[in-house]
Structure 1
């Protein structure tokens, strides 16, 4: 993707970097308040840029971020600053040095991933140890901020994810700038969140760029590794709308050639969401979404699965009242929709007859 010409350096951007540097210096000098100061700084750079601030700093057309469309999240301060540190890397050097000194603190990797995710792939670093450290911090920080999006069911860090997928994972020249271990970790990270950020349409291209894994002969090919990561991600999700979103988009897995062990692992994961009670305690909406995904991906054995599920439901009488009530509601809803379709169909036929 061609990059825009370097924008004019804004005095407001310089002021922003100075404020970030001051807060990091305060955090370094105050061990007792260090975590709170870093958390406040993270919250500040993750804030959305309002219209007035956007006009003051710079227009979105000046950024390196992907072209704006309906799938791009809100423009945040970290978007602007990440571009600024690419165009004017000397302004980011003092901040980077301070983050390195705070490396082991909470939110340090969060801040690094937001501010320097583009800088890392644009500069030339000859020290392999430093490069590995930065790459590992990027993956760790990105993982943490993406989980913040999942816990709040928002897409505030979608531009970061799109950059890591579209501008790094799918661009070999940039991907090869980081060590192989970091490449593998990055692809595992993207595998876990690609459905959440609605970029599953790039799955085919993403799988083609998968790096080699040393344990591939044990777990299988690229598709197997992707599905294993996805199944593990599903097991960790506790936010109902997010879990439903994942389950409703699993249709992208149709056609993937998987090992028997991988298919069984995915099937077991989905099946765990189809029954009420522990250990998952899924809601009725989640159970239905899991059944739909299970029947879509594994149509063979559909009827026996439902019969077995019904049999085990009958062993727990305390579920009968709610099941009967939901069954009655579903029947009434189906009858109502049938009547409405019949009425509208008859009305349409009558209107057509009058016209003729």
Structure 2
């Protein structure tokens, strides 16, 4: 189970400024019903952008953060990758953003943004409220589903690192998986089943099937392998 490395002061200052910009855009979205969808779509696009050379130099100063390519992940290093790490190390800086996302919960792209920015936070920062955990884990699955479909529709792997984290650092790590309610665990495994071939992580399939949570329909449907095949064939 890997831990997110701490950023340098220079990187922290840069990500703090970036966080403030995200907060401002969310405030604008909350205050502007007519522009809300467009603003949230723009913000989603912003956090999904590949890190440019100037930002990369700041963010990777002193090799703070392992890039996707260095970690064996296909796909670019995107802003959401480094922000997700940042909100684990400085969760208090992510709280104002999280509060606004919750207020915009029902809006298009809110769950997309949540899943990109807070997927590591959900599993690596201590949360004790079971009701909140259920809400956040449901939003994570919904948002991740949406962004994975975007990858399929565009035939890219921009969100590969999110998929890989959910597979290798959550689904295959019982102590993290058990942080979310059982229903959310089931939904997560169904989600991963649908996209595992697209993201080419079939090497994990045997371990993945062994970790499958219990399903109330298992008596009628069959084993984890049967459930996996059903989800895959429903795509």
* Band the TM-score falls in, shorter-chain normalisation: over 0.9
How far apart, CA to CA, are the structure 2 residues paired with 1:184 and 1:65? 30
How far apart, CA to CA, are the structure 2 residues paired with 1:118 and 1:226? 25
Query: By how many angstroms is 1:122 displaced?
Result: 1.1
Query: By how many angstroms is 1:72 displaced?
Result: 2.8
Query: By how many angstroms is 1:2 displaced?
Result: 3.9
Q: How many residues align?
A: 233
| Higher RCO (CA 8 Å, separation ≥ 6 residues) | 2
Query: By how many angstroms is 1:71 displaced?
Result: 3.6
Residue 93 to residue 141, structure 1, CA distance change in 2 (3 Å): same
Query: What does the per-residue CA deviation read over 1:293-338, in whole Å, with 9 as the maximum and x for residues that have no partner?
Result: xxxxxxxxxxxxxxxxxxxxxxxxxxxxxxxxxxxxxxxxxxxxxx
**Residue 53 (structure 2) aligns with:** 51
**Residue 104 (structure 1) aligns with:** 106
Q: Which runs of 5+ in 1 are unaligned?
A: 234-356
The 5 A counterparts of 1:77-88 are 77-88=79-90
How far apart, CA to CA, are the structure 2 residues paired with 1:148 and 1:122? 26
| TM-score scaled by length of structure 1 | 0.63
- Bigger radius of gyration: 1
How far apart, CA to CA, are the structure 1 residues paired with 2:6 and 2:179? 22
How far apart, CA to CA, are the structure 1 residues paired with 2:213 and 2:28? 41
1:114 aligns with 2:106: no
Any conservation in 1 of the 2:84–2:119 contact (CA below 8 Å)? yes
Which of 139, 149, 152 is 2:151 aligned to? 149
Query: By how many angstroms is 1:67 displaced?
Result: 7.3
**Residue 187 (structure 1) aligns with:** 189
1:7 aligns with 2:10: no
Any conservation in 1 of the 2:73–2:161 contact (CA below 8 Å)? no
3-state SS of paired residue (2:207): helix
Query: By how many angstroms is 1:51 displaced?
Result: 2.4
Deviates more, 1:173-182 or 1:69-78: 69-78
**Residue 91 (structure 1) aligns with:** 93
Which of 221, 224, 229 is 1:222 aligned to? 224
How far apart, CA to CA, are the structure 2 residues paired with 1:62 and 1:126? 29
